[in-house]
Chain A
Amino acid sequence: MGTYRLRAAVACVLAVVAAVGLAACGSGNAPSGGSKSIEIWEGYTGAEANAFKHLVTEYDKTHKGVTVSSLYVNNDYTLQKVQTAVAGGNPPDIAYLYGSWAPNVAKISGVVTLTKVVQKPGVNWTDFWVGERDVATVNGRVIGIPALVDNLAVVYNKTLFAKAHLAPAGPNWTWAQFMADAKKLTDPAIKQYGTAYVTPGSEDTVWHWEALLWAAGGNILNSNNTKAAFDSPAGLLSLNTLRTMAVTDHSMYLDPTDSAYANLFNSGKIGMLVTGPWDLSAFPNVHYGVQIMPSFPGTSGGHQTISGPDNWVIFNNGATRVKTAEAFLLWLTAPAQVKYFSLHTGDLPIRASVADTPGFDAAMNKALPEVSTFIANLGNVRQARPQIATYPQISQVLGTMVVSVLLNKSQPGPALAAAAAKVNQILAGSG
């Protein structure tokens, strides 16, 4: 009895140790260097997941000998997981990574340079929007292929505009007009606000302001990314515009949670929102319209907007698998597949030629009213945020600056100067 129990216990231990050992190196053994099996980490859910699955199945069917397997990873955590996987010597072949991470991604060993790949005939690199190409390129080196593109525009409640006897904004409108409309749409008695702004101080706070800064003709950093450039008349103009609405007119609902604003807009409590196409499906209860961003007359900025594209990035798991991954990505981002994906998900097309296809806008608008304005607005994306590894830290400084002005804790001028000093410190490497 005693020896039997002992033997059983030892067997148990061996089984567990073996299982742990296998789990630790399991996926490393599966696709060998010469295999044409590749693994993709992506974070698609819902309609996007279905469309992506369809495309992968189609690729597997039409490309004999190649197996593409995809693994769901929450997009927010992909970079930290990829970093761990690379450190463990077992990265995925392709990963979906946020564009804002690109400078940090470029520093990871094993990230495949795609500069020559995207110049191949048939790829038509310039067909990708300039905002996307900028974000896929770090110091002249292409490290990714665009996976998603969006931009900011103004979504407004047509019913509230009519009630306030306001004409809907035209494409030539100005920020002065936006402020005046916001003021007229505000009614404290029924807790209705002209507009809203997200104030957690995160990058979501920051990029909304950056669009205004660019529209006012300003820049975040100087051309070689060595000094802050936003402490300028354009910086002042952009912050004063926001301050007038938040502090003087009280026409701006401040949302520290980054989530309440969408519900409020959908409940008819907010007149205008500066937001992206991803929010449109959250507004089924209101009759909304979409207009491009207003401009600051007398500046060079025009109706510029900002875009937050994401990238597909390839990791080196041997020459064969890199080649397989490249071939798959070029197929996935070719016009036919881009069109299929957009039409089935409502995501903006990552290629200009797809946007120009006859009937495309109408088909997109059918599923998601007015999304075509966001598509046209891609032409107003003229620049990208600084492609430097310290951008997340700079973003934090800018977030604090914008929030302190909106909460009336500091005046635009001193806030800009203080933030510029901190950003210069970060850029000098002592932040």
Chain B
Amino acid sequence: MTAAAALGRRTPGRAESAGRRPRRAESVTGWAFVTPAAVIIGAFGAAPIVWSLVISFTNENELSSTSTRFTGLRNYRAMIHDPIVTQAIEHTLVYTALFVPGVMLVGLFLAVAMNRKLRFMWVYRTAAYATMAISTISEALVFIWLFDPSYGIVNYFFSLIGIPQQQFLNSPSEALYVIVTMTIWGWSGFAVVIYLAALQGIPQDLIEAAAIDGAGRWTTFRRITLPLLSPASLFLAVWLTINALQLFDEVYLSTMGGPLNATTVLVYYLWEQAFQFFKYGYASAIAYMLFIVILVVTAIQFRAGRRFTYYRS
């Protein structure tokens, strides 16, 4: 922190001593480097974002129809009275609340288990990260068969230990949890990599000092390791939450929002409104609501994170 501040103070002085002209040239060069990316991001990122905000205030349904007109807040009002939107919000929040801690716990457990010198450790680490490299469609297909009510291996194991046969993706009360399991498996490799890197950044002398003070393994983990992992945890919490709120692929590939809307999450519902029913205006309104939800949740996470996160200087 102090080093950065000192650097910041020193830079202008150096530029002043070198005179004004090169400085302007430098800024032009800077802009020149930024412009291509800015143009591309503006055209393919920012413009559609703004345009979809405009669309969300219209009855747009064909993109090219002549009957499009501004309808003010009608789409937003309709959303409040749409029972499926309420359900979709519920499913999205339940999913996020299970998925984010789930991935972090599994990731942390695996990372701690792998943070030691063992023969063939690279095999275990590669295996853990492989879940991230496997495409979502393969992941979905595998889980569909694992959780097949009649032929799946999960029900087979259940039968061995006397648990009654479950309907899984065929059951409105179970399907969402199958998707939670599927995505936790898919994302745990990502958390492992982040936590493993953070674990290896923990200074050994702190651990040794704790040991000298008589701390046991659990106390060391709780008092030294966990606090030092907090920046990684905050990053994971924010990143995973944003991804969880935007869940789509796994739902589209396995249940298509069913059975009976049990796995209809917000992004799936807005996709359906836009590209199945062609209600682009309504879908854009849902997208903007989701945007605000993500913004608020992320802001809360950062605010809360500041209190619990420990950054070493």
B274 surroundings in chain A (CB, below 8 A):
80
A166 within 8 A of B: no
Chain B nearest CB: distance from A387 CB in Å?
Answer: 15
**A17 pairs with B39, CB closer than 8 A:** yes
A191 surroundings in chain B (CB, below 8 A):
150-151
**Chain B residue at minimal CB-CB distance from A401:** B260
Interface secondary structure of A, over-half rule: helix
Chain B nearest CB: distance from A429 CB in Å?
Answer: 12
**A256 pairs with B258, CB closer than 8 A:** yes
A404 surroundings in chain B (CB, below 8 A):
260
Given A86-B63, A257-B144, are A13 and B256 neighbors across the interface (CB < 8 Å)? no
What per-residue 1/0 map shows which CB atoms of A258-286 lie under 8 Å from chain B?
11100010000100000000000000000
Bound together, the chains give a CA A222 to CA B172 distance in angstroms of: 32
A167 within 8 A of B: no
User: CB < 8 Å: which of A16, A108, A258 contacts B64?
Assistant: A108
Bound together, the chains give a CA A80 to CA B278 distance in angstroms of: 8
**A403 pairs with B258, CB closer than 8 A:** yes
In the complex, chain B residues 10-49 whose Cβ is within 8 Å of any chain A Cβ: 22, 25, 28-29, 32-33, 35-36, 39-40, 43
Bound together, the chains give a CA A10 to CA B33 distance in angstroms of: 8
In the complex, chain A residues 66-120 whose Cβ is within 8 Å of any chain B Cβ: 77, 79-80, 83-84, 86-87, 104, 107-110
B172 surroundings in chain A (CB, below 8 A):
407, 409
**B39 pairs with A83, CB closer than 8 A:** no
**B258 pairs with A107, CB closer than 8 A:** no
B139 within 8 A of A: no
B148 surroundings in chain A (CB, below 8 A):
260
**A256 pairs with B260, CB closer than 8 A:** no
B186 within 8 A of A: no
Chain B nearest CB: distance from A407 CB in Å?
Answer: 6
Bound together, the chains give a CA A5 to CA B32 distance in angstroms of: 11
A12 surroundings in chain B (CB, below 8 A):
32, 36
A269 surroundings in chain B (CB, below 8 A):
151
Bound together, the chains give a CA A399 to CA B255 distance in angstroms of: 13
Given A6-B28, A260-B145, are A86 and B170 neighbors across the interface (CB < 8 Å)? no
**B256 pairs with A201, CB closer than 8 A:** yes
In this complex, the member of A9, A87, A108 whose beta carbon has the largest number of chain B beta carbons within 10 angstroms is A9
In this complex, the member of B141, B169, B261 whose beta carbon has the largest number of chain A beta carbons within 10 angstroms is B169
Given A199-B170, A393-B277, A404-B260, are A16 and B39 neighbors across the interface (CB < 8 Å)? yes
**A13 pairs with B36, CB closer than 8 A:** yes
Bound together, the chains give a CA A393 to CA B61 distance in angstroms of: 13
Chain B nearest CB: distance from A396 CB in Å?
Answer: 8
**B22 pairs with A259, CB closer than 8 A:** no
B66 surroundings in chain A (CB, below 8 A):
109
Bound together, the chains give a CA A257 to CA B40 distance in angstroms of: 38
**A107 pairs with B276, CB closer than 8 A:** no
Bound together, the chains give a CA A5 to CA B22 distance in angstroms of: 12
Bound together, the chains give a CA A247 to CA B43 distance in angstroms of: 54
**A403 pairs with B259, CB closer than 8 A:** yes
**B65 pairs with A6, CB closer than 8 A:** no
**Chain A residue at minimal CB-CB distance from B66:** A109
User: CB < 8 Å: which of A16, A104, A256, A400 contacts B36?
Assistant: A16
A419 surroundings in chain B (CB, below 8 A):
none
User: CB < 8 Å: which of A17, A108, A253, A392 contacts B277?
Assistant: A392
In the complex, chain A residues 176-230 whose Cβ is within 8 Å of any chain B Cβ: 191, 193, 199-202
**A9 pairs with B255, CB closer than 8 A:** no
B310 within 8 A of A: no
**Chain A residue at minimal CB-CB distance from B145:** A260
Bound together, the chains give a CA A356 to CA B210 distance in angstroms of: 88
**B170 pairs with A256, CB closer than 8 A:** yes
Chain B nearest CB: distance from A3 CB in Å?
Answer: 7
**B62 pairs with A200, CB closer than 8 A:** no
Chain B nearest CB: distance from A260 CB in Å?
Answer: 7
B56 within 8 A of A: no
B111 within 8 A of A: no
Given A191-B150, A201-B260, are A20 and B43 neighbors across the interface (CB < 8 Å)? yes
**B150 pairs with A200, CB closer than 8 A:** no
Bound together, the chains give a CA A87 to CA B172 distance in angstroms of: 40
Bound together, the chains give a CA A35 to CA B143 distance in angstroms of: 52
B254 surroundings in chain A (CB, below 8 A):
256-257
Bound together, the chains give a CA A84 to CA B44 distance in angstroms of: 14
**A10 pairs with B32, CB closer than 8 A:** yes
What per-residue 1/0 map shows which CB atoms of A1-21 lie under 8 Å from chain B?
011011001101100110010
Bound together, the chains give a CA A199 to CA B66 distance in angstroms of: 37
Question: Can you list 14 residue pairs at the A/B interface with Cβ under 8 Å?
Answer: A6-B32, A10-B32, A13-B35, A77-B275, A83-B63, A84-B63, A110-B64, A199-B258, A200-B256, A254-B170, A257-B169, A257-B254, A260-B148, A392-B277
Given A9-B32, A77-B275; 6 other pairs, CB 8 A cutoff: A9-B29, A108-B62, A200-B256, A256-B175, A257-B169, A258-B256
Q: What is the interface of chain B, defined by CB distance below 8 A to chain A? A: 22, 25, 28-29, 32-33, 35-36, 39-40, 43, 62-66, 141, 144-145, 148, 150-151, 169-172, 175, 254-261, 272, 274-278
For the complex of A and B, 5 pairs with smallest distance between CB atoms: A9-B32, A16-B36, A83-B63, A200-B256, A86-B64
